[in-house]
Amino acid sequence: MAKTGKRYAAAKAAFAGKSELSVDEAVALIKANATTKFDETVDVAFNLGVDPRHADQMVRGVCALPNGTGKAMRVAVFARDAKADEAKAAGADVIGAEDLMESIQQGNLDFDRCIATPDMMPIVGRLGKILGPRNLMPNPRVGTVTMDIKAAVEAAKGGEVQFKAEKAGVVHAGIGKVSFDDAKLAENVKAMVAAVLKAKPTGAKGTYVKKIVLSSTMGPGVSLDVAAAVAE
């Protein structure tokens, strides 16, 4: 623990006095101070001027990261017959109907994305209390309730990120690994900013994006220049 403490303290010192950075500057700072032995995830967090308790202020969407997440995504699909075959051909990891529902009810949640054909929603709906809190519930608004199973599975496998505002109006997502080239990380950050801007709800009043912070898994965070970030 002492070693971890010294490493984090050194990173904090490197970040001291630095804020409101450009995307490129923040990426360079994060990468230079991610010194753990594993390939840390780079996370972006948005503090938004919304209250998700109101339906017209909920922020939800998807972002197709141009350079992927660097994480192998496990995809579960609720489908039958030809659509189940389509899911298998597209590379889905878990496929089923009632049997998949029962497996999830027993606590088997070894997947990162859940997709369903529309006719499966009466079954999937019974899992709302399990999938909902984990942001795994299929939703037509983000393309996970669809007849185009092939496209949905390929998008998930290719680095598409789903996001949803938490109670405090915070949206966060992993947008790559510190091993990525600076330019690729910066491109992913900019794509995520664009996706959050596009998802601005009709009920949002005043300042929509209040703060954006970039960090690595084990490192401190640094704030971005919001005006510059949203303008790119």
> Using one digit for the tens of pLDDT, what is the confidence trace for 166-177?
989 999 999 999
HSE on the CB side for 77, CA within 13 Å? 31
**Assigned fold of 75-158:** Rossmann fold (3.40.50)
CB 165 within 8 A of CB 171: yes
* 158-199: pLDDT as tens digits: 889 999 999 899 999 999 999 999 999 999 999 999 999 999
Predicted TM-score (pTM) of the model is: 0.83
Confidence check: pLDDT of 62 > 70: yes
If one counts every other C-beta atom within 10 angstroms of the C-beta of residue 23, the result is 23
Instruction: Confirm whether 18-68+161-231 and 75-158 share one CATH topology.
Output: no
User: What is residue 67's DSSP assignment?
Assistant: T
30: exposed, middle or buried (Cβ count in 10 Å: 0-12, 13-18, 19+) = buried
User: Any idea where the domains of the chain sit in the sequence?
Assistant: 18-68+161-231, 75-158
3-state SS class at 132 = helix
The CATH number that domain 18-68+161-231 falls under is 3.30.190.20
Cα distance between residue 201 and residue 179, in whole Å: 34
Q: Is the pLDDT of residue 200 over 50?
A: yes
Residue 2 has pLDDT above 50, yes or no: no
Residue 83 — very low, low, confident or very high, per pLDDT cuts 50/70/90?
A: very high
* pLDDT at 183 (0 to 100): 97
